[in-house]
Amino acid sequence: MFEEPFRWMEAISTRHSYVQEKLKKGQPVFAVPYNEGSLLLSFSQQPGKIFEIYDRIALGGLGHPADVERLRMSLLDMAHLEGFNRSAQDVTIARLLQFGVAPALKQNFEEVMRAPYLVQLLLAELDAEGGRRFYRLNYDGHWENFKKGTVVAGDPKASQWLEKKIADTPFAEYDLNRAMQEVCKLWEGVQKEVREDSEDDEKDESETFTLNQAFEDWHFEAAVLSNTVKRKSIFRKASEDEIQTLKSALIK
């Protein structure tokens, strides 16, 4: 195969199609700014999509839970090793991606005899001066950074629609409750958008896509990196009171 470039390129194209198809039904994970930091939020059929990586770094994962966990552990190990060998200030998402997990993902994806990672990752960072950084890492090692927030979504059309909405929404001006409300509205809006654009006549009409159904049947996860937290680690999960206030505002 390696002596025939066309066959290798064909195999890579097949891998892209395979992974994209596997990720297509994954629910979006959002990372956006708010007036006191950064917010990560998602709905899922099982918990475990949002995690702390280091003092000022958080992770959101979409894809196969085992692959998300393997990459989470890799990032954890790299972050703590970097912090031990250098300093906590040297532990940044850009370094973890550029010198660690991104090259490993690229190598894995291009070795066509190995199973690819079924995953997309979203990372958020809040520096000591309050600067917000958002990154998206693809299953093939390609990564991008964003200033106004971003999203990982299995459906490319959903991802494009959400990216535009996030860029047009002044999340950095909102308090936490307003930011969570707006993200939840985007989640509900994209469910309808994808449903209307779908060409699959056999799409399950009972599939969850309203906020009422999502809060009732699925797991809601939200966490923040907050400038107001007076400790080294600024990551915290949304409190039960914050979640109940959110539900009261959204569910009529």
Whether 41 is in a domain gets the answer yes
Whether 104 is in a domain gets the answer yes
Whether 7 is in a domain gets the answer no
CATH of the domain at 245: 3.60.20.10
Burial class (CB in 10 A: 0-12, 13-18, 19+), 124: buried
**Phi and psi at residue 242, to the nearest 5°:** -65, -40
Whether 8 is in a domain gets the answer no
Report the pLDDT value the prediction gives residue 19, as an integer from 0 to 100: 96
What DSSP character marks residue 40? Answer: E
Q: Partners of 28 in the beta sheet?
A: none
Write the CB contacts of 12 (distance below 8 Å, at least 6 apart in sequence). Answer: 109, 110, 112
Reading the block at residue 157, the tokens are 């059309």
Whether 75 is in a domain gets the answer yes
Q: Partners of 221 in the beta sheet?
A: 42
Number of domains observed in the structure of the chain? 1
Which H/E stretch holds residue 136?
Answer: strand 132-137
Per-10-residue mean pLDDT, the chain, length 252: 71 93 93 97 90 95 96 95 90 94 95 93 91 96 95 93 96 97 95 68 57 92 92 91 95 78
| Rounded-to-integer distance, Cα 126 and Cα 110, Å | 33
Which residue range forms the structural domain that includes residue 221?
Answer: 16-250
Whether 10 is in a domain gets the answer no
| Rounded-to-integer distance, Cα 51 and Cα 69, Å | 10
| Rounded-to-integer distance, Cα 168 and Cα 170, Å | 7
CB 35 within 8 A of CB 64: no
Whether 5 is in a domain gets the answer no
Whether 6 is in a domain gets the answer no
pTM of the model: 0.90
